[in-house]
């Protein structure tokens, strides 16, 4: 995944995405053709991703944290309201990544079109930007699958607004009841439509204005839409760590 630059006097316990123990591990069922990494929403090792067994248009199934074979599913590195996806952790050093940034020395981004696997049970090493405490629950950010530690049952809501949706996927927000709308947030309206904000088109940043969403072909009149920026996973934090340090996460407690 990169080029070695340093030699430590004591070996590290691992790196993000490594297996952290010998407990049972299970993977998200990819179906007959397996999962391949999305080209537009590639998954990231050490993050969560969403596996879609039945992608629209008959494309290869992808694992996306953001296609290669005739049948199967897609692995997505971000969540955009897909009803058929299942979340899992992107793990292992055997996955194919590509160093694409100019002069970059490492990459954790899965190569588009290559086969990938996500785990819905097991014990793994992850990194938390704000650190973590044993017993905390692991959440995954919708925008890129980044793991975040929190309390089980914590509210993930970022905003509540009054808005209407056009069949072009443009959401018009007329009133902000609370919070701020962010790119990557996932909204749910009273009719049960779910979609992600992909960009803001006009108006006050994060407030009243128009937004492009991931959902097209649906029209919904004005009503309440609630937004969230993350989802609670089945994983728990099982080791302490300061900001940016490796943390063991596990579904086995």
DSSP 91-160: --SSS-B---STT--B--BBPTTSEE-EEEESEEEEE-TT-B-TTPEEEEETTT--EEEE-TT---EEEE
What pLDDT sits at residue 55?
67
| Local confidence band at 194 (pLDDT 50, 70, 90 cut-offs) | very high
What pLDDT sits at residue 69?
38
The predicted model gives 239-252 an average pLDDT of 94
Q: Which residues of 165-180 are buried (b: 16+ CB within 10 A; e: fewer)?
A: beeebebbbeebeebe
What pLDDT sits at residue 70?
40
The predicted model gives 15-28 an average pLDDT of 93
Domain borders along the chain are: 26-123, 127-153+232-250, 157-228
Least confident of 28-37, 181-190, 216-225: 28-37
Mean pLDDT score across all residues of the chain: 88
Q: Do 124 and 18 touch, CB atoms closer than 8 A?
A: yes
What pLDDT sits at residue 103?
61
Percent above pLDDT 70 for the chain: 84
The CA distances from residue 65 to 75, 86, 128, 168, in Å, are 7, 12, 17, 24
| Local confidence band at 115 (pLDDT 50, 70, 90 cut-offs) | confident
**Phi–psi pair at 220, nearest 5 degrees:** -135, 125
pTM of the model: 0.88
Q: Are strands 62-65 and 35-37 parallel, antiparallel or unpaired?
A: parallel
What pLDDT sits at residue 7?
74
**Phi–psi pair at 123, nearest 5 degrees:** -125, 130
**Cβ partners under 8 Å of residue 8, min gap 6:** none
Is the pLDDT at 124 greater than 90, yes or no? yes
What pLDDT sits at residue 66?
41
User: Rounded CA gap, 239 and 246, in Å?
Assistant: 9
**Cβ partners under 8 Å of residue 97, min gap 6:** 1, 45, 107, 108, 109, 110, 111
Is the pLDDT at 167 greater than 50, yes or no? yes
Is the pLDDT at 1 greater than 80, yes or no? no
Q: Which of 21, 61, 10 is nearest to 235 (CA)?
A: 21
**Strand 123-127's sheet: what is its strand order?**
123-127, 246-250, 230-237, 137-141, 147-150
Least confident of 9-13, 110-114, 157-161: 9-13
Is the pLDDT at 199 greater than 90, yes or no? yes
Is the pLDDT at 17 greater than 60, yes or no? yes
C-alpha 220: how far from its chain's center?
Answer: 26
What pLDDT sits at residue 125?
96
Is the pLDDT at 177 greater than 80, yes or no? yes
What pLDDT sits at residue 68?
36
């Amino acid at each position: 995944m990169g080029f070695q630059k340093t030699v430590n006097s004591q070996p590290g316990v691992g790196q993000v995405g490594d297996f952290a123990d010998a407990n049972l591990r299970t993977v998200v069922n990819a179906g007959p053709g397996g999962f391949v990494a999305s080209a537009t929403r590639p998954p990231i090792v050490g993050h969560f991703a969403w596996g879609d067994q039945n992608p629209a248009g008959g494309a290869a199934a992808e694992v996306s944290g953001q296609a290669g074979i005739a049948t199967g599913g897609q692995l997505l590195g971000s969540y955009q309201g897909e009803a058929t996806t299942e979340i899992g952790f992107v793990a292992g050093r055997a996955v194919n990544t590509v160093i694409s940034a100019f002069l970059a020395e490492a990459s954790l981004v899965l190569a588009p079109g290559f086969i990938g696997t996500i785990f819905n049970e097991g014990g793994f090493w992850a990194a938390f930007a704000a650190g973590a405490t044993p017993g905390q629950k692991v959440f995954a950010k919708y925008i890129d699958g980044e793991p975040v530690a929190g309390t089980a049952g914590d509210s993930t809501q970022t905003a509540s607004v009054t808005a209407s949706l056009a069949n072009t996927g443009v959401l018009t927000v007329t009133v902000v009841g609370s919070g701020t709308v962010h790119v990557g947030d996932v909204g749910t309206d009273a009719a049960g439509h779910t979609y992600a904000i992909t960009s803001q088109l006009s108006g006050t940043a994060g407030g009243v204005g128009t937004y492009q969403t991931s959902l097209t072909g649906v029209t919904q009149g004005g009503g309440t839409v609630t937004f969230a920026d993350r989802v609670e996973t089945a994983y728990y934090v099982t080791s302490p760590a300061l900001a940016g340090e490796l943390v063991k996460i596990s579904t086995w407690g």
